[in-house]
Amino acid sequence: MIDHSFGFYGIAFFGIILARYFLVAGGTYLCFYSPLGKSVANPKLLSWTPSLRSVQHDIKLSVLSAGVFALAAAFIMSAYSEGITRLYSHLQQSGLWYLGVSYGAVLVLQDAYFYFTHRLFHHPLLFRWLHQGHHRSRYPTPWTSFAFDPLEAIVQSLFLVGIVFVIPLHFITLIAVLTTMTVWAVLNHLGIDRLPSSFPHHWLGRWFIGPAHHSVHHRRYTVHYGLYFTFWDKLLGTQDPNYEQKMGDRQINQSYPRI
């Protein structure tokens, strides 16, 4: 692998992260908030359209977050060039089976890290400085998925910086984690009212965070802090005990008024 300067990596990753954001978040927004997207949504729940000002605010924060994550990525690549991370590029080093194991392990660890930091950000002394910007979009859209306050972006990027020094990871695994994080965040901010009534909710889905689960958090700040899984919310009592019943009855709008 060719070594480059920290500045080169920073600029390159800033462009890549921004392009990924506009491609995934923008594409999803066009699909679900266009006239065609509205035609497949649940007409009983479809009741609000995000303002241009709200979208612009989310994009502004996302550009700042892209800068933070680009610096983190530049640091990781520079450290890799120095041989001080546990990243590797040869598949034979740990075997193909390890790709799946390490991928799952990172998702579980990231979910725990996100849950506890996210819950901490909602402390009254920290919320204004670390998380208020994300919640200015009272009704989330795909554009909100990457809209972090700069300090929050730093905290979240530290997980990715730290994990490459702790767990041996192939670059394929790292890219898979980043892709999962991006797609999952966009879907979580899609909003329940953009989904058809037939959207499946089964026993397996109860263990994963989805747009309905996370939309409740944007309406009621004291519940639903997870990223990928509902495990920590259920274990630590931060999942609405009536959520599954309300979800089954499709009463999200009535049960969780926007704040």
Instruction: State how far the Cα of 29 lies from the Cα of 243, in Å rounded to an integer.
Output: 26
The answer to whether 15 touches 221, Cβ cutoff 8 Å, is no
Give the mean pLDDT per block of 10 residues along the chain (259 residues). Answer: 83 97 93 69 59 92 98 97 95 92 98 98 96 87 95 98 97 96 92 56 74 87 95 96 69 50
The answer to whether 143 touches 23, Cβ cutoff 8 Å, is no
pLDDT at 197: 47
Chain-centroid distance of CA 96 in Å reads: 27
pLDDT at 4: 83
Alpha-helical (H) ranges within 82-197 are 96-121, 124-130, 132-135, 150-166, 171-188
pLDDT at 89: 93
